[in-house]
Amino acid sequence: MTEQNQSSSTVRVFIALAPPDAAKDELARALRPAYEAYPRMRWNRIEDWHITLAFLGELPAATVPLLRPPLAELAAARRPVRLALRGSGHFDERVLWSGIDGDLEALHGLAGEVREVVRECGIAFEDRPLRPHLTLARARRDDPSSVLRAAAGLAAFSGRGWPAGRLHLVGSNFGRGPGPIRYRDIESWEFADGR
């Protein structure tokens, strides 16, 4: 993308944590029966699984660099948050998610600090209450019961704990043509002792 195009373009942005590969693999194994039973659901790619701390929506691309220095500083001052993937549920019978367990107080504190950084950068966003979850799939409009059945099948899942060691600034292609939503790290920063 040329600099001229970039200055007039927008990007859909959020700030998130991502489970490590071992935690994602553990959940993916538990999801195998659901993948087979409900192939028509729109399953998120495992590499895109994340826990959103602040959803900023569509931003001018030129605004995004303002977030980098204060987010890097925030990450450098924070210790990893100990989390686990646990249970499941759904939003409006359309979205299947895995729950988040662990140090939820620290997770909410981190989300609050991230949102304060965004506000201090002068970026307006919809500041919804944090509902920690990891989105797994969306039902097709003609088959909402598949989400309910998949959530029931995953309700007893209890993954091993892990330290969330990096803060991610993520862009997505949501609403930009057909096909699944894709995410890419714009940048990420390791927490203090996050290795």
Query: Measuring CA to CA, which residue among 44, 63, 79 is closest to residue 167?
Result: 79
CA dist 101 and 174 (Å) reads 27
CA dist 14 and 169 (Å) reads 6
Residues 171-178: contacts with CB under 8 Å, at least 24 apart? 171/11, 171/12, 171/13, 171/64, 172/12, 172/13, 172/14, 173/12, 174/12, 175/12
Q: Does the active-site annotation cover 133?
A: yes
> What token pair was written down for 74?
């925030």
In a 10 Å sphere around its CB, with 0-12 CB exposed, 13-18 middle and 19+ buried, how is residue 85 labelled?
A: buried
> What token pair was written down for 111?
């989300």
Which residues are tagged catalytic? 50, 133
